[in-house]
Structure 1
Amino acid sequence: MNIRKFCDNDIEEMIKIWNEIVEEGIAFPQENILNLNSGKDFFSSQTYTGVAILNKKVVGLYILHPNNVGRCSHIANASYAVSSAMRGKHIGEKLVLDSMNVAKNKGFLILQYNAVVETNHVARHLYEKLGFKQLGVIPKGFKTKDNRFVNICPYYIEL
């Protein structure tokens, strides 16, 4: 498997994986799925969008961008998506590590996750294993697909 910057030929597979997470309704804040046009615009608008390629197929991806503007623009934010068929194979870990390197190379000093859902134990375990620190808990900060409110746990790491 290799991780590289996305290209236009990857867009359809990327949208499928991204929409799978959105439709699950338990991790991403987005509620609307992407189509070909909105997906291309969305992924192209990021500071960097990386894809994990295995056997010439996109199996995961991440987006990287500033967490805020101006005096806080040195803090990056990222989101990760792995195809449900490929989960449990350490692809997410490789995407996180790649995003940390890319963020550092692009001049970011910190990588922060604003809305890690408290029940996303796999992601939280991975972030903690890689040295991310939890900043606290925001009660009822995430609305699930079935309209329940669950806690979110912001995380960060200095790059």
Structure 2
Amino acid sequence: MEIKIRAYHPADEESCRAIWNEVVEKTDSFPQMEPLEKGEADRFFQSMSYTGVAEDEKGEILGLYILHPNNVGRCGHIANTSYAVKSSLRGGHIGEKLVLHSLTEGKKRGFRILQFNAVVADNIHALHLYDRLGFTRLGTVPGGFLKHDGTYEDIILFYHLL
């Protein structure tokens, strides 16, 4: 399958919202607790420094990422991203392509560092991917993520120089 990553367009809202909300509703990796509503999703995706959309050769949207500053002012050169892939396609290296694209796009947009604030410790696929792609682990926040069952899981912080 050929995958192209391009910039988000308002016409992508419904497909991107469905993929994003699927991750939110799974409750195991995104900090958001509420799904995005129609209209709200378009404003959210357009408010980012960049929203990248992965699509196949037929134009079907497979996943997306958001890129934005992690902080302001003197720390505004540090970016943060979140990635979402359609659940039926996970394991097909779409996430890896999104991460690699975000590294390039972040640098192109003047960011110097990409930092992940909250990679859930039991998200072993993400941990392996970030390790393999050369991200550096900064440390662990014990019990930093509230799971759907009311328990807490550790989160791991990562960074990558751009």
Q: TM-score, normalised by structure 1?
A: 0.99
Alignment of 1:21 with 2:23, yes or no, is yes
User: Equivalent of 1:140, from 137, 140, 143?
Assistant: 143
Q: CA separation in 1, counterparts of 2:4 and 2:95?
A: 12
Residue in 1 that maps onto 2:67: 64
Tell me how far 1:145 sits from its aligned partner. 1.5
Residue in 2 that maps onto 1:119: 122
Say which SS state the counterpart of residue 137 (structure 1) adopts: strand
Residue in 2 that maps onto 1:48: 50
Say which SS state the counterpart of residue 34 (structure 1) adopts: coil
Any stretches of 5+ residues in structure 1 without a counterpart?
none
CA RMSD of aligned residues (A): 0.6
Q: CA separation in 2, counterparts of 1:141 and 1:23?
A: 18
Say which SS state the counterpart of residue 17 (structure 1) adopts: helix
Q: CA separation in 2, counterparts of 1:100 and 1:12?
A: 26
Tell me how far 1:56 sits from its aligned partner. 1.0
Letter in 1 for 2:121: E
Q: CA separation in 1, counterparts of 2:60 and 2:148?
A: 29
Q: CA separation in 2, counterparts of 1:130 and 1:136?
A: 17
Residue in 1 that maps onto 2:35: 33
Residue in 2 that maps onto 1:99: 102
Runs of 4+ in structure 1 off by over 6 angstroms are: none
Any stretches of 5+ residues in structure 2 without a counterpart?
none
Say which SS state the counterpart of residue 88 (structure 2) adopts: helix
Q: TM-score, normalised by structure 2?
A: 0.97
Alignment of 1:3 with 2:22, yes or no, is no
Letter in 2 for 1:11: E
1:25-50 CA deviation, whole Å, 9 max, x = no partner?
Answer: 00000000011111011101100000
Q: CA separation in 1, counterparts of 2:60 and 2:151?
A: 35
